[in-house]
Amino acid sequence: MSASDSLTMVALSGGVDSSTTAWLLRQRGERVAAMFMKNWEEDDPASGCSAEDDARDARAVAELLGIDFHARNFATEYWESVFESFLAELEAGRTPNPDILCNREIKFKAFVEHARDLGADRIATGHYVRRRVETDGTVALLKGVDANKDQSYFLHALTQEQLACARFPLGELDKAEVRNLAREAGLPVAEKKDSTGICFIGERNFDRFIARYLESEPGDIVDERARIIGRHQGLIHYTLGQRRGLNIGGLKGYPEQPWFAACKDLATNRLWAVQDSHHPLLMSTRLRATRLNWIGVPAPAVGARLAAKIRYRQPDQDCTVVAQDADSLTLEFDLPQRAVTPGQSVVIYDGERCLGGGVIQESDAPRPAPSRAETRTTLDEVDTVSS
């Protein structure tokens, strides 16, 4: 089959990035089709997550470009592979990142399977990343050139097979260039606002939405000396470093400064809060991650000097691998890190190449008494672990 005969299926979301992706491929003379993914069954018009509107925009773009348009409902797969895991992580006291699981299980798995059933040889998405085929045939995942839009953090859990069939035409562009191209092409979504947040929540109140699926027990909010300063509505509603939603203020004997969630204690159902965004209870120099994935490379060796991100758009943080085995990796950072959050992902880089990463299990942030010594010992012991 010649290159002109092969078919690329674009994951067309109805947004400017995926629409410009389809247009660029058409400009290159490639044979292109488009598929729209519906990942959530809407039951609330106020959700702000309108798959119907997005599908209509995607279809309009496909008609303008003269390419075949397909729509598939992946709501069942999303529920089973992403949303149920999201709920389980919340119940365990962690803060999950469903977008990473969605990419691995839906956009680069279920979508790929349906694309192949329709005769596609590869897929293309509007992610701001790049790929490079190495001399040994492995596919490297590289940062997008637009540092502010680089999305390698969200794709670090992909496999070699998934990357091999994927293309990322926007990886060499910045967002302003993409907007300009969309305008020049006359795409009807050129000025459409970028989607943000988790689609199944949309514009709805997060706490009210989660309360439909999980029960939570209110409890005390305490300061670093364990003095009660407020009430929380359930630990599942809070994440480390959170400022908004604590509803603490005007307390006698305390300065008029914001409060930050610093520690969740599931055993006592307490939420510890502090008035310093960089309070010692929020700062870590080490973390341990599990559920690891390496993209065409072996796990980094103990002593390796690399960089990592513990959240999207964070600048690279210099770090050293201090322990690793098949199931876990421990990193030590050159500088203390704020609000290292279990359930979130740590993604590891060697220059522009994303090596992979894993899910944060714990850090060496001090725990409020009396469990401080126990928590410290757990991570200090990793010095004795060898590769």
Tokens of 294: 């390496």
The answer to whether 289 and 329 are in contact (CB under 8 A) is: yes
At residue 51, φ and ψ (nearest 5 deg) are -65, -30
At residue 195, φ and ψ (nearest 5 deg) are -75, 145
The answer to whether 254 and 232 are in contact (CB under 8 A) is: no
Examine the residue annotation and report whether 102 is marked as an active-site residue of this protein. yes
Single out the catalytic residue among 102, 165, 319, 354.
Answer: 102
Q: How far apart are CA 308 and CA 354, in angstroms?
A: 9
Single out the catalytic residue among 199, 263, 319, 354.
Answer: 199
Examine the residue annotation and report whether 354 is marked as an active-site residue of this protein. no
Question: Among 306, 329, 327, which residue's Cα sits nearest to residue 379?
Answer: 329
At residue 293, φ and ψ (nearest 5 deg) are -140, 130
- Going by DSSP bridges, is the β-strand pair 317-324/305-309 parallel, antiparallel, or unpaired? antiparallel
The distance in angstroms from the start CA to the end CA of the chain is 46
Residue located via tokens 């940062």 = 143
Q: How many CB atoms lie within 10 A of CB 48?
A: 15
Q: List b or e across 217-252, with b for residues whose CB sees 16 or more CB atoms inside 10 angstroms.
A: eebbbbbbeeeebbebbbbbbbbbbbeeebebeeee
| Chain-centroid distance, C-alpha 290 | 16
Report helix angle 175-184 to 16-27, nearest 10.
70
User: 354 in helix, strand or coil?
Assistant: strand
270: left (phi over 0), alpha (psi -120 to 50) or beta: beta
Q: Which residues belong to the active site?
A: 102, 199
